[in-house]
Structure 1
Amino acid sequence: MPYRRKFLTRAGYTTLSALLTMGFLQKDKQREDQSTNSIAANNPIKNVNSPLRQLAAAKGKRYGTAIDGDFLRKEKDYADLIARECSIATPNGELKWAGTEPEPGKFTFESADAIANFCQKHNMTMHGHTLFWHLSKPDWVPYPPTLKMLERHVNGVMGHYRKSPVLKSWDIANEIIADTPDGTDNRYGLRRGVKPELIRDLFLIAAEVDRNKKFCLNDFGIEGATWKSDHYLKMVEYLKNNGVKLDWAGLQSHLWFSKNYPFDEKGFSSVLKRLKDLEVKPVITELDIIIDTPFPDSIEKLDKMIADSYKRFLELCFAGGVDTVITWGITDRHTWIRYPQWMPQKYKDNPEFQKFLRPLPFDENLKPKLARKAIAQAFQ
Structure 2
Amino acid sequence: MDRRQFFTTAIGAGLTSFFSSSCLKSSLNDNKALLSSSLVNNNNLLTQDKNTSLKAAAHKVKKFYGTAISEADIQQDKDYAQLVASEASIAVTEGAFKWIVIEPLPGQFNFAPADQTINFCSANNLKLRGHTLVWHMAKPDWLSYPPSLSDVERHFTEIMGRYRHNQTLYSWDIINEVIADSPSDAEDQVYGLRKGVKPEYVRDVFQIAASIDNSKEFVINDYGCEDTGWKQDKFLNLVRYLKNSGAKLDAVGLQSHMWFSKNYGWNENGFRNFLKQLKSTGVRPIVTELDVIVDTPLPSTLAELDQMVADGYQKYLNACFAEGVETIITWGLSDKYSWLRHPDYLPKKLIDYKDFIRPLPYDTDLQPKPARNAILKAFRNVKS
Three-state SS of the structure 1 residue aligned to 2:340 is helix
How far the C-alpha of 1:270 sits from its partner, in A, is 1.1
Residue 285 (structure 2) aligns with: 282
Residue 317 (structure 1) aligns with: 320
After TM superposition, the structure 1 = structure 2 runs for residues 219-258 of structure 1, keeping only pairs within 5 Å, are: 219-258=222-261
Three-state SS of the structure 2 residue aligned to 1:309 is helix
Which residue of 114, 118, 130 maps to 1:112?
A: 114
Which residue of 59, 62, 65 maps to 1:60?
A: 62
Contact persistence 2:13–2:257 (CA under 8 A): no
Distance in 1 between residues matched to 2:283 and 2:350, nearest whole Å: 42
| TM-superposition CA deviations, 1:334-375 (whole Å, max 9, x none) | 1101111211x3xx3155643210000000000000000100
Residue 330 (structure 1) aligns with: 333
Residue 94 (structure 2) aligns with: 92
Distance in 1 between residues matched to 2:217 and 2:360, nearest whole Å: 26
Q: Does the C-alpha gap of structure 1 residues 22 and 376 become closer, same or farther in structure 2, counting only changes over 3 Å?
A: farther
Contact persistence 1:10–1:135 (CA under 8 A): no
Three-state SS of the structure 2 residue aligned to 1:16 is coil
| TM-superposition CA deviations, 1:241-294 (whole Å, max 9, x none) | 100011111000011110111101111011100011111101000000110111
Contact persistence 1:22–1:264 (CA under 8 A): no
Contact persistence 2:10–2:16 (CA under 8 A): no
Q: Does the C-alpha gap of structure 1 residues 52 and 340 become closer, same or farther in structure 2, counting only changes over 3 Å?
A: same
Three-state SS of the structure 2 residue aligned to 1:66 is strand
| TM-superposition CA deviations, 1:133-152 (whole Å, max 9, x none) | 00001111001111100111
Contact persistence 2:12–2:223 (CA under 8 A): no
TM superposition outliers: structure 1 runs of 4+ over 3 Å = 20-23, 45-49, 350-353
**Aligned amino acid, residue 20 of structure 1:** L
Three-state SS of the structure 1 residue aligned to 2:343 is coil
TM value normalised by structure 2: 0.88
Q: Does the C-alpha gap of structure 1 residues 11 and 17 become closer, same or farther in structure 2, counting only changes over 3 Å?
A: closer
Distance in 2 between residues matched to 1:17 and 1:11, nearest whole Å: 8
Residue 76 (structure 1) aligns with: 78
How far the C-alpha of 1:47 sits from its partner, in A, is 5.5
Residue 3 (structure 1) aligns with: none
Of 361-370 and 105-114, the range deviating more from structure 2: 105-114
Contact persistence 1:89–1:125 (CA under 8 A): yes
Q: In structure 2, list runs of 5 or more residues that go unmatched.
A: 19-46
Provide the aligned length of Structure 1 versus Structure 2.
350
Q: Does the C-alpha gap of structure 1 residues 110 and 237 become closer, same or farther in structure 2, counting only changes over 3 Å?
A: same
Identity of aligned residues (%): 49
Three-state SS of the structure 1 residue aligned to 2:226 is coil
After TM superposition, the structure 1 = structure 2 runs for residues 102-251 of structure 1, keeping only pairs within 5 Å, are: 102-186=104-188, 187-251=190-254
Distance in 1 between residues matched to 2:272 and 2:6, nearest whole Å: 27
Contact persistence 1:53–1:62 (CA under 8 A): yes
Three-state SS of the structure 2 residue aligned to 1:176 is coil
TM value normalised by structure 1: 0.89
**Aligned amino acid, residue 205 of structure 2:** L
Three-state SS of the structure 1 residue aligned to 2:166 is coil
